[in-house]
Amino acid sequence: MIPEIGQILLIVALASSLLQFCIGIGFYQKSITHSGIVYNLSAVHSSALLVAIVCLGYSFLIDDFSVLYIALNSNTNLPNIYKIAAIWGAHEGSLLLWIFLLSLWGVLLSFSRKFNDQTKTLKLRSVAIMGLVSFCFILFILYTSNPFERLFPFPEQGRSLNPLLQDPALAIHPPILYAGYVGLAVPFSLAIASLITINDHQWAGIARVWCITAWLFLTGGIALGSWWAYYELGWGGWWFWDPVENASLMPWLVATALVHSLVVTEKQKLFNGFSVLLAIIAFSLSLLGTFLVRSGVLISVHSFASDPERGMFILALIGVLTGGALILYALRVKKGEKRSLEILSRESLLLLNNVFLCSAAALILIGTLYPLIIELLNAGKISVGPPYFNFVILFPFLPLVFFIGLGVFSTWNSTSRNMMSSIKWVLALSLIAGLVTALIVFDYSSLLTTIGIILAFWTLISGLSPIFRKTFIFRDIIKVLPMSLAHIGLGLTILGVTVTSSYGITFDESLRLGQSTKVGDYVFKLVEVNDSKGPNYDARTATVEISLDGEEIAIIYPEKRIYDKNSPSMTEAGIESNLRRDLFVALGEELGGNSWSLHLQYKPLLRLIWLGPFIMILGGLVRIYLTKPLTRVMS
Amino acid sequence: MKRYLPIILFLVLFISLLQSLFQDEMDIPSPLIGKNMPSFSLKRLGENTTITDQDLLGEVALINVWATWCVGCKEEHELLLSLAEEPSINLSIIGINWKDQDQLAIRWLDELGNPYQEILSDPIGNTAIDFGVYGAPESFLIDRDGFIRYKHIGPLTLSVWINEIQPLIKELKQ
């Protein structure tokens, strides 16, 4: 009974989102007297989806294996918390969550008070567009991916949830990432609504806060995913350039560009068309990511034939939404006023960097789509993969990072006269800090490493400087704080990435019990290996002692877990970390004669890779929750 | 004109994606057919000895690219096993374990059975790239002189075996 209720609620959501679009867009009546109905419809369709998710969750908790999705993704031995997480453990349920979060953004937009009399129509039309996006995806879920489909005859016991997914970080990672993906639907809707209504810069100021919020979720989701991959996948990497990761990085890059472009559009009334285009592209890349991940086109070119319907459907949705948006853009976008740009003014530098960010996204897109591209061109072999990405990403990123620093010191409309004088010191400081780090703290590794470290300090120190540059007025500081934090975070991430990849040590070694080996300055000793039992797995735990200069500093316990006999064992790495370095041990195979293979790593400054995004998020939070209220209170 | 650029670029991308959905993978001609197989030197799975392309010469061989993470590989596994076990066929089946972990691959073969005479481990995928592989499973038929005579993309099926590979092997063995 409960699954049928869920099913009916999906249909209710479908109908109400369609009405939300039709009434809101103004087919029926051009005036906006019906706006209240439209906003309530968005609440109705969101609530219906929420209750549908609750229905699915309830069926999971009572182990209703007559529902196909539950039989495939849960079993009675699963701890309750992971039964909840199993809701988004596979395609159908994660899509349901995706759509619910989308509708939630729609509700927040509907009841937002940030709109005035001039932008009332903009608000109504954008809520209508949100309704259209929702409608498309609810149709998709009902047609091709219904989570409430029944199974008859139903099994006594369900299949296991992928053991990789039984992890707290991964359980909360998809909702956060999805919230970011679908959050980009709001700037998209506002951009489209702007094109069909007033068609000027007014949407930019409103869209900026929404875009920052979505960007926060994306940043958090990507960082969590990378952190999960690091300690759970077992081999100590933190970024693999696989299509799923790329699908989240591309929208992030374009959303970052959008945040900056919206500043220019809002404050200088410039680049309106470019901002609209970025808003369209950012959301389209979210959709494309969904297509690539969900259709299976890339994960294995061959698995696709088994379910062409989903791929077709998502592609059709991309055609309608992105294609429609771009046609509208071509027809409606106004030529911006001709204004000559000073080459070192803030608007030029922001434009330049947005172009670099977009190029980075484009290069990643090309690399991600390469199997399709060679297939179509029949061009023979192209070697793509981490080597390609690690190499090409430098071309947009090196100049990007350099200009980020310059941008901080620039002023609107003109080349700042003080620019050179403030830059001098920052440049000198960055050079000193960078060279000391690259040559003295660590040893010289390569020119690229040295440049990378100097640029990291350049971003970091130039990000810090606005806080210290002015006389200490709190109001001025709170204004520059979000930007400063974001740039400091970026600098830290760059520092972490450069140092870890250049100075990290990684190798495999077989050790007998009681034997030890040296990883950099650290001595790792394999003390013992024991069997133990977890709630739904058998484990084999090693005890590894780490010492530095003869002094014991930590004991860690890398583990291998076997959840069920038919699936491969999971590696729970043993990690000892502080801000300066990570020491990492993964337990490999038993080699006989009391000896074991171990995967050992020493990774300096690895934590900065995740500390950076955390600080960026702080910056965004300050911008959303503190800047406006505080500046208002103080003026 | 500039304003139409985004939609034009998008249409190109859209049509490519659409075409990739409909592309019949079996029909993609491989530029490598009729050419010498790429040279390689790979470790045997789970061992420290290496094997090169030269070691495969002298016999007709079916090179099968597989991985434990690939669903299609499980599908074709039964067929490969029965080919390996049938004495009248007398074909050497060579596996290339692609972008995989040795320990997982060994466990997989322990459980499902091992149809391969030799298994090469290609964890980074360089050799597979030289073979023009862009997904698993893929299979290549190599003649005695090391020329690639046939390529199949996707899981091998009985009908592919009977209609395409078996006749070709007969021809090559004469």
pLDDT by residue (tens digit) across A553-567?
999 999 888 776 656
- Of A232, A96, A236, nearest in space to A170 by CA: A232
Work out how many domains chain A is built from and give that number. Answer: 2
With 70 as the cut, is the pLDDT of residue A634 above it?
Answer: no
B36 touches chain A (CB under 8 A): no
Q: What is the ipTM of this complex?
A: 0.83
Asked if residues A472 and A507 have their Cβ atoms less than 8 Å apart, the reply is no
Cβ-based neighbours of A35, under 8 Å, separated by 6 or more? A24, A120, A123, A124
With 50 as the cut, is the pLDDT of residue A259 above it?
Answer: yes
Residues of A (239-278) whose Cβ lies below 8 Å from B = 273, 277
CATH 3.40.30.10 fits B2-173, yes or no: yes
Q: How far is CA B140 from the centre of its chain?
A: 5
Going by pLDDT thresholds of 50, 70 and 90, the confidence category of residue A301 is very low
Cβ-based neighbours of A168, under 8 Å, separated by 6 or more? none
What angle (nearest 5°) sits at the alpha carbon of residue B166, between those of residues B160 and B170? Answer: 160
pLDDT of A302 reads: 36
pLDDT of A303 reads: 37
Going by pLDDT thresholds of 50, 70 and 90, the confidence category of residue A174 is confident
B118 touches chain A (CB under 8 A): no
End-to-end CA distance of chain A: 59
Answering whether pTM is above 0.95, one says no
Min Cα separation A404/chain B (Å): 26
User: Mean pLDDT throughout A163-183?
Assistant: 82
In a domain, A484, yes or no: no
* Pick among A288, A318, A326, A338 to test the B interface (most B CBs inside 10 A): A326
Compute the distance between CA of residue A483 and CA of residue A472 in angstroms, rounded to an integer.
Answer: 17
With 80 as the cut, is the pLDDT of residue A101 above it?
Answer: yes
In a domain, A64, yes or no: yes
pLDDT by residue (tens digit) across B113-164?
899 988 999 887 778 878 877 667 788 999 888 888 888 877 788 888 888 8
pLDDT of B26 reads: 43
Report the share of chain B in percent with pLDDT over 70.
89
User: Mean pLDDT throughout A570-579?
Assistant: 86
Find the domain containing A509 and state its range. Answer: 505-604
In a domain, A193, yes or no: no
Assigned token pair, A473: 């007025």
Going by pLDDT thresholds of 50, 70 and 90, the confidence category of residue A379 is very low
Q: Scanning the structure block, which residue is given the tokens 């937009």?
A: A109
Assigned token pair, B45: 């799975």
pLDDT of A307 reads: 59
Rg of chain A over all Cα atoms, to the nearest angstrom: 26
Q: Is B122 helix (H, G, I), strand (E, B) or coil?
A: strand
Could you check whether the bond before residue A153 is cis, i.e. omega within 30 degrees of 0? yes
Going by pLDDT thresholds of 50, 70 and 90, the confidence category of residue A38 is very high
With b meaning 16 or more CB within 10 Å and e meaning fewer, what string describes A109-136? bbebeebeeebebbbbbbbbbbbbbbbb
Of A56 and A444, the one with more pLDDT: A56
pLDDT of A622 reads: 92
pLDDT of A160 reads: 60
A302 touches chain B (CB under 8 A): yes
pLDDT of A280 reads: 97
Of A150 and A104, the one with more pLDDT: A104
pLDDT by residue (tens digit) across A392-427?
899 999 999 999 988 888 888 887 677 777 788 899
pLDDT of B157 reads: 80
- Of A137, A161, A164, nearest in space to A83 by CA: A161
pLDDT of A534 reads: 80
What angle (nearest 5°) sits at the alpha carbon of residue A99, between those of residues A98 and A104? Answer: 100
User: Of the candidates A139, A159, A179, which is a domain's last residue?
Assistant: A159
Q: How many CB atoms lie within 10 A of CB B42?
A: 19
In a domain, A303, yes or no: no
Report the share of chain A in percent with pLDDT over 90.
48
pLDDT of A493 reads: 96
pLDDT by residue (tens digit) across A131-162?
999 999 999 999 888 999 888 777 777 766 55
Compute the distance between CA of residue B14 and CA of residue A283 in angstroms, rounded to an integer.
Answer: 15
CA distances from A562 to A74, A235, A290, A572 (A): 17, 17, 31, 11
With 60 as the cut, is the pLDDT of residue A548 above it?
Answer: yes
Cβ-based neighbours of A261, under 8 Å, separated by 6 or more? A271, A274, A275, A278, A350, A351, A354
pLDDT of A243 reads: 75
With 50 as the cut, is the pLDDT of residue A112 above it?
Answer: yes
User: Of the candidates A134, A159, A184, which is a domain's last residue?
Assistant: A159
With 70 as the cut, is the pLDDT of residue A470 above it?
Answer: no
User: Mean pLDDT throughout A280-286?
Assistant: 95
In a domain, A430, yes or no: no
A371 touches chain B (CB under 8 A): yes
- What angle separates helix A2-25 from helix A35-61, to the nearest 10 degrees? 160
Output the average pLDDT for chain A.
Answer: 86
Residue boundaries of the structural domains of chain B? 2-173
pLDDT of A380 reads: 41
In a domain, A609, yes or no: no
Min Cα separation A562/chain B (Å): 13
Long-range (24+ apart) CB contacts under 8 A made by A516-525 are: A516/A545, A517/A600, A519/A583, A519/A600, A519/A601, A519/A602, A520/A602, A521/A548, A521/A549, A522/A546, A522/A547, A522/A548, A522/A553, A522/A583, A522/A602, A523/A547, A523/A548, A524/A583, A524/A585, A524/A598, A524/A600
Could you check whether the bond before residue B137 is cis, i.e. omega within 30 degrees of 0? yes
With 90 as the cut, is the pLDDT of residue A450 above it?
Answer: yes
Residues of A (588-617) whose Cβ lies below 8 Å from B = 588-589
pLDDT of A463 reads: 92
